[in-house]
Chain A
Amino acid sequence: MSKKVISPGQDIVASMVPEFKKRLQEIIIEEGITELDIDLTGVEMVDSVGLGAFIATHNTLSQKNGKLTVINASNDIYSLFKTMRLDQHFEIKQV
């Protein structure tokens, strides 16, 4: 099991998601990371495309018996993930 933390440091929205997903693919597929923490420090907003990136990352890691954890989520993002029941698929930790 290899672990890594990735910190996007900016809002996870449609304009940055293609680059972000590429980076995630590199980490999971090329570097072979199976335990990934996405650190949301400095992230204030996640749009629908961004949510899709989280779910796709979770699905990719699940195929490899890996695990996604979202850390340092702001209050709004944490409550959004909870309301949408995403916490039933991967772990979400508040700031």
Chain B
Amino acid sequence: MLIDHETTDIYIQETNQSLAEIEQNLILLEDMGAQIDMSLAKRVYHAMHVIRNGASLLALSKMKELSQKIENVLGLICTNRLTPNPEVINILLQGIDHLYQLIDRIYSNDEMDIDEQSVLLTGLTSAVLPDNIKQSVTEVRDIPLPDGKHAFQIPELNLIQVLEQGKNIYILIFDLIKDVQNKNNTPFNFVRYIQQHGQIIDSMFDIQSVGTLEEQEYGSEEMPYFVLLASSISDKQLKKALDLASHQIQQVTIDLDDLIHPTTKQFQQGMTLSIANQSRKTDNKKRVDLLNAFSCELKFAMDCLSNQSLSVGKKRVQSVLNSLQDLLNQENSVLASKILWKIGRNIRDYAYQSNLQIKFYLKCGLIKMDHRILYRLIEPLTNIIIQMVRSAQTNTTVQICLKMTTIDHMIHMSLSFVDPQVLKQETYLNLDIAEKKIQALSAEVKQSFELKAGLNIAIRIPQKIIIIPGYHIVIDENHYIVPKFNLKECLTNLDPLKWRKEDSSIIFNHNEKNIRIVELSNKDVSYFKNKQSLIVCEVGNKCFGLATDSTDIFEMDVVCQPLGKQLDSNPLIVANCLLDDGQIAFVLDMGFLLKMLDNNKHSTKTI
């Protein structure tokens, strides 16, 4: 495969980032209404153009089709032919949502229906255009081939957009046997190579010249193949790049005035995949260098410890641990505004669907937070804001502000009405569900109401939080978290005959291997036969099993909280955390579980 996973991964990452920026900018454009900031509109158009080009290069047909249609609409906004009113922005945002879903499914080959979205976007393009241009969406133009027998049939709007980008249009003529097969090239590589030099608007085989199976038996094989290419490079450069003879290239001259009057200029080229690829490799190299430095430092620490220089050794180990923690924080820490803007999108959608006027202001400054916390704040904060909107007693626009500040390693969030008078009387909201979700992030939520300041919802989150990626399991109605790096496998549909007791240890036989089972409390074999699944855990190079009542285990990032005095003495657990539904889960100490098993101590400790 020519396009490797690394390139696709970069495309996914870049596209997700671009889509988020486009989404934010579309909301800004909506707020501007008819007073469009052209530079912003062109940035959005250009970002979508880069996404579409990437999809074309990676042969992601649906991604390409949808991004092309969104680009068409954005092109109209850029040329002042379409006002980004809420209806237009809504259709564009829905299109962006579909692109997110398509990106999510790149590797799964999951078919997704984009027909409805395509129709909406095409309808939008044609419906709002003036009559003289409206036709270009549905109007098809013939571009005849030099053989005089065939012609490409291209929607005029596509031609308009290509010409408006300052690109040239070429017909390229190939014979796949002579130009590809005899040059030891494959059609796949051949097509990709052409795509690196422009956008294939259309292509076609002269299938009659190929003949039937019988005709091929007696005649020499030929496979005429024509490509309609839009490219910003000149015919001379293209001839050289694609190794074409003069008769193989023909520039198509279409008068743009004949289609519409051009109003946009050529856009700058965006970041190419190869540059992104390079920067990713540099980042990786920096990380490897840093880890090498850490390993050297640990080696020195080992030397110190073996030389009895305990205090120096401990300092060295501590410095590595601190640096690693800083590195992890740096990796996960992002500007809060980079993620919390999504609340604005949610509120915008709610306002659109409910036909309400809502203005949401986000004031985060340059505050940085762990992105996993920020993502988990979007939903509860959105819910709180919607409840605030519902409680407001006004017929005019409801304006709500979310302000963030940092004081003493705590992040303070404050949600309030811009006009406190929208609440005529002392009001408190029922925040039960949202509150639990925020508390699960080791945060506090408090409501207050003052006559002058009105309703205020204050949230306090510690700036440094320990987050463990793990799997949630249930044993005897208790919730536990198994750290992700300790989980090796999850076995379900357990055969009851494979459980046995051997030398006072519980064993489960799986694929002719015996798995030792950790007992959190002393139980008989019959107890284990009722268990729904078996989690195979790994500590170092040793494995053991945990029998659970969970039918389905799921991954989650949990925010660890220190154990209270009552639990502190329990060696089975290292921390506790709140789940989104308000229940408490315990983070298991996997090292202790293994030690317990190795010592063959049948602990009767229960939590």
Nearest Cβ distance between residue B303 and chain A, in whole angstroms? 52
The answer to whether A84 touches B225, judged by C-beta atoms less than 8 angstroms apart, is yes
Number of B interface residues in the complex (CB < 8 A): 30
Q: Does A42 have its Cβ within 8 Å of any Cβ on chain B?
A: no
Nearest Cβ distance between residue A58 and chain B, in whole angstroms? 7
CA distance A25 to B213 in the complex (A): 7
What sequence of 0s and 1s flags, for each residue 13-41 of chain A, a beta carbon within 8 Å of any chain B beta carbon?
Answer: 01000000100110011000000000000
Stretch at the interface among B174-182, B336-344, B469-477: B174-182
The answer to whether A56 touches B213, judged by C-beta atoms less than 8 angstroms apart, is yes
Q: 16 A-B Cβ contacts within 8 A? A: A14-B181, A21-B216, A21-B217, A24-B213, A25-B213, A25-B217, A49-B177, A52-B216, A56-B215, A56-B216, A58-B207, A59-B210, A59-B212, A80-B59, A85-B204, A85-B205
Q: Does A2 have its Cβ within 8 Å of any Cβ on chain B?
A: no
Residues on B with beta carbons closer than 8 Å to the beta carbon of A53: 213
Q: Does A91 have its Cβ within 8 Å of any Cβ on chain B?
A: no
The answer to whether B180 touches A48, judged by C-beta atoms less than 8 angstroms apart, is yes
The residue on B at minimum CB distance from A95 is B109
Residues on B with beta carbons closer than 8 Å to the beta carbon of A55: 205, 207, 210, 223
The answer to whether A48 touches B176, judged by C-beta atoms less than 8 angstroms apart, is yes
Residues on A with beta carbons closer than 8 Å to the beta carbon of B444: none
CA distance A53 to B221 in the complex (A): 10
What sequence of 0s and 1s flags, for each residue 187-216 of chain B, a beta carbon within 8 Å of any chain A beta carbon?
Answer: 110010000000010111101101111111
CA distance A47 to B241 in the complex (A): 22
New contact pairs (18) apart from A56-B213, A82-B59, CB-CB < 8 Å: A24-B213, A25-B217, A29-B214, A46-B187, A47-B186, A47-B187, A48-B186, A51-B176, A52-B216, A53-B213, A56-B211, A59-B210, A80-B187, A82-B61, A83-B200, A85-B202, A85-B204, A86-B205
The answer to whether A84 touches B212, judged by C-beta atoms less than 8 angstroms apart, is no
Task: Please report which residues of chain A, range 40-83, place their CB below 8 angstroms from some CB of chain B when the two chains form the complex.
Answer: 45-49, 51-53, 55-60, 63, 75-76, 79-80, 82-83
The answer to whether A76 touches B1, judged by C-beta atoms less than 8 angstroms apart, is yes
Known contacts A49-B181, A83-B200: A59-B211 contact under CB 8 Å: yes
The answer to whether B207 touches A89, judged by C-beta atoms less than 8 angstroms apart, is yes
Residues on B with beta carbons closer than 8 Å to the beta carbon of A75: 109
Nearest Cβ distance between residue A34 and chain B, in whole angstroms? 14
Residue of B61, B208, B216, B225 with highest tally of chain A CB at under 10 A = B216
Residues on A with beta carbons closer than 8 Å to the beta carbon of B202: 85
CA distance A88 to B204 in the complex (A): 9
CA distance A55 to B225 in the complex (A): 12
Residues on A with beta carbons closer than 8 Å to the beta carbon of B186: 45, 47-48
Q: Does A94 have its Cβ within 8 Å of any Cβ on chain B?
A: yes
The answer to whether A25 touches B214, judged by C-beta atoms less than 8 angstroms apart, is yes
The answer to whether B212 touches A63, judged by C-beta atoms less than 8 angstroms apart, is yes
The residue on B at minimum CB distance from A21 is B213
Nearest Cβ distance between residue B174 and chain A, in whole angstroms? 10
Residues on A with beta carbons closer than 8 Å to the beta carbon of B208: 59
Nearest Cβ distance between residue B194 and chain A, in whole angstroms? 9
The answer to whether B207 touches A59, judged by C-beta atoms less than 8 angstroms apart, is yes
Nearest Cβ distance between residue A74 and chain B, in whole angstroms? 9
Residues on B with beta carbons closer than 8 Å to the beta carbon of A48: 176-177, 180-181, 186-187, 223
CA distance A60 to B208 in the complex (A): 11
Nearest Cβ distance between residue A22 and chain B, in whole angstroms? 9
CA distance A52 to B207 in the complex (A): 9
Residues on A with beta carbons closer than 8 Å to the beta carbon of B223: 48, 51-52, 55
Nearest Cβ distance between residue B100 and chain A, in whole angstroms? 21
The residue on A at minimum CB distance from B2 is A76
The 3 closest A-B pairs by CB, nearest first: A79-B59, A48-B181, A48-B176
The residue on A at minimum CB distance from B190 is A48
Nearest Cβ distance between residue B76 and chain A, in whole angstroms? 27
Residues on A with beta carbons closer than 8 Å to the beta carbon of B211: 56, 59
CA distance A52 to B181 in the complex (A): 11
Residue of B186, B202, B211 with highest tally of chain A CB at under 10 A = B186
Task: Please report which residues of chain B, range 210-248, place their CB below 8 angstroms from some CB of chain A when the two chains form the complex.
Answer: 210-217, 221, 223, 225
CA distance A75 to B109 in the complex (A): 8
Residues on B with beta carbons closer than 8 Å to the beta carbon of A83: 59, 191, 200, 203
Residues on B with beta carbons closer than 8 Å to the beta carbon of A89: 205, 207
The answer to whether B176 touches A52, judged by C-beta atoms less than 8 angstroms apart, is yes
The residue on A at minimum CB distance from B58 is A79
Residues on B with beta carbons closer than 8 Å to the beta carbon of A29: 213-214
Nearest Cβ distance between residue A52 and chain B, in whole angstroms? 5
Nearest Cβ distance between residue A40 and chain B, in whole angstroms? 14
The answer to whether A52 touches B221, judged by C-beta atoms less than 8 angstroms apart, is yes
Residue of A75, A83, A86 with highest tally of chain B CB at under 10 A = A83
Nearest Cβ distance between residue A94 and chain B, in whole angstroms? 7
CA distance A54 to B188 in the complex (A): 15
Residues on B with beta carbons closer than 8 Å to the beta carbon of A94: 109
Residues on B with beta carbons closer than 8 Å to the beta carbon of A82: 59, 61
